[in-house]
């Protein structure tokens, strides 16, 4: 029996006194007079003690079920799985109970998209956080039906592109195109549509973001990375290089950095890894050659002139 009035526990004689919870007895006690104000308080702390690594599987008995997927918060339904034991099959070997899929097309699409996004992330070797972001963007797009009539693969690829960009590890359209089924044109169109509707902090990919990754793919030593980065940062001031695709600029910068530190890679190698066309890289390389004094520090300028 609790002495409460309107569900606020307080002592009758000391209405403003703070109450202390007595865990052992399950009481709320008034600090002034010791009157037990509320009893049978339910203790919501853990029922038993758990230690880290107490069992080999380190199962926490306090927790129930799998971790909640942030993209799937609304869906708490369960479904009956396929039969495994002998009781589930009749004499002919057919399953007795066939699971009927009562899944809405939206949920099905989202499930397929989730799987596809995870596969793409594997191929791109990208983090789990990006997978979550991409799934979130996709569910956003799907919920609000922002894109009608575009192939699902293109939408998924566009979500992936945006997610990578948001987490500051941008993947170029060509890289995403390589791991997905749709064409760069389709992905680009979907991307433009999504960008308008979904709030993202999308910043246009700059060559600086790409240089590090391409250099490591080409197995170039660390000093070359830094040199290429520097070249790229200075190259954005040159007029004709300004409007160029970031992949091409990065490729040309890497070519120069590699040449100059005697780790030279051929145009074809760089083109294969970076995705830019050989002729484009050569064109930008020529422009950069004309601006050597601006781009390269003193030590390397002669090396570049010598290698021509």
Partner 1 sequence: MALRDLNNNEIENFPHLKFSIHNVVCSFGTSCYLNLRKIALNGLNVENKGDRLFMKLRKPTITATIFSSGKITCAGGKSDDEARIGARRVARQLQKLGFKVKFLDYQVVNVMSTSSVPFVINLSKLAKQYPGDCEFNPELSPFVFIKINSLNTSVNVYSTGKLTIMSSNIDSISKSLDYIYTFLYQSKS
Residues that bind partner 1 (CB under 8 A): 172-174, 184, 188, 191-192, 204-205, 236, 239-240, 242-247
Query: Smallest distance from the beta carbon of 304 to partner 1, in angstroms?
Result: 24
CA–CA gap between residue 122 and residue 109 (Å, rounded): 20
Q: How many CA atoms lie within 13 A of 288 on its CB side?
A: 32
Q: Structure tokens of 127?
A: 């983090």
Measuring CA to CA, which residue among 187, 142, 143 is closest to residue 165?
A: 187
Query: Smallest distance from the beta carbon of 121 to partner 1, in angstroms?
Result: 20
Of 173 and 300, the one with the shorter C-beta distance to partner 1 is: 173
Of 237 and 307, the one with the shorter C-beta distance to partner 1 is: 237
For 74, other C-beta atoms within 10 Å of its C-beta total: 8
Of 285 and 300, the one with the shorter C-beta distance to partner 1 is: 285
Of 156 and 224, the one with the shorter C-beta distance to partner 1 is: 156
Query: Smallest distance from the beta carbon of 243 to partner 1, in angstroms?
Result: 4
Classify burial at 292, counting beta carbons within 10 Å of its beta carbon; exposed 0-12, middle 13-18, buried 19 or more.
Answer: middle
Query: Smallest distance from the beta carbon of 136 to partner 1, in angstroms?
Result: 22
Of 135 and 172, the one with the shorter C-beta distance to partner 1 is: 172
Query: Smallest distance from the beta carbon of 239 to partner 1, in angstroms?
Result: 5
CA–CA gap between residue 137 and residue 200 (Å, rounded): 9
Q: Structure tokens of 91?
A: 């004499």
Measuring CA to CA, which residue among 47, 18, 48, 45 is closest to residue 33?
A: 18
Q: Cβ(284)–Cβ(210) under 8 Å? A: no
């Amino acid at each position: 029996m609790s002495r409460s009035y309107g569900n606020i526990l307080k002592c009758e004689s000391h209405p403003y006194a703070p109450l202390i919870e007595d865990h052992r007895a399950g009481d709320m006690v008034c600090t002034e007079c010791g009157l037990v104000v509320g009893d049978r308080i339910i203790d919501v702390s853990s029922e038993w003690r758990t230690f880290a690594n107490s069992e080999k599987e380190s199962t926490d008995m306090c927790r129930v079920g799998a971790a909640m997927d942030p993209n799937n918060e609304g869906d708490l339904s369960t479904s009956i799985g396929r039969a495994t034991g002998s009781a589930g099959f009749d004499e002919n070997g057919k399953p007795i109970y066939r699971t009927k899929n009562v899944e809405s097309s939206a949920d099905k699409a989202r499930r397929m998209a989730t799987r596809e996004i995870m596969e793409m992330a594997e191929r791109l070797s990208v983090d789990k956080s990006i997978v979550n972001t991409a799934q979130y963007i996709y569910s956003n797009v799907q919920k609000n039906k922002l894109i009608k009539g575009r192939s699902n693969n293109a939408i998924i690829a566009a979500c992936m592109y945006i997610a990578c960009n948001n987490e500051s590890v941008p993947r170029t359209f060509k890289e995403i195109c390589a791991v997905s089924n749709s064409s760069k044109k389709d992905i680009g169109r979907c991307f433009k549509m999504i960008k308008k509707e979904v709030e993202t902090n999308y910043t246009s990919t700059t060559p600086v973001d790409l240089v590090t990754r391409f250099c490591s793919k080409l197995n170039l030593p660390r000093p070359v990375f830094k040199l290429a980065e520097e070249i790229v940062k200075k190259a954005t001031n040159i007029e004709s290089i300004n409007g160029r695709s970031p992949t091409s600029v990065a490729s040309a910068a890497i070519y120069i950095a590699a040449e100059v530190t005697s780790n030279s890679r051929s145009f074809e190698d760089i083109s294969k890894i970076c995705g830019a066309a050989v002729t484009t890289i050569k064109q930008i390389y020529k422009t950069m050659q004309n601006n050597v004094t601006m781009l390269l520090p003193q030590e390397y300028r002669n090396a570049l002139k010598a290698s021509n």
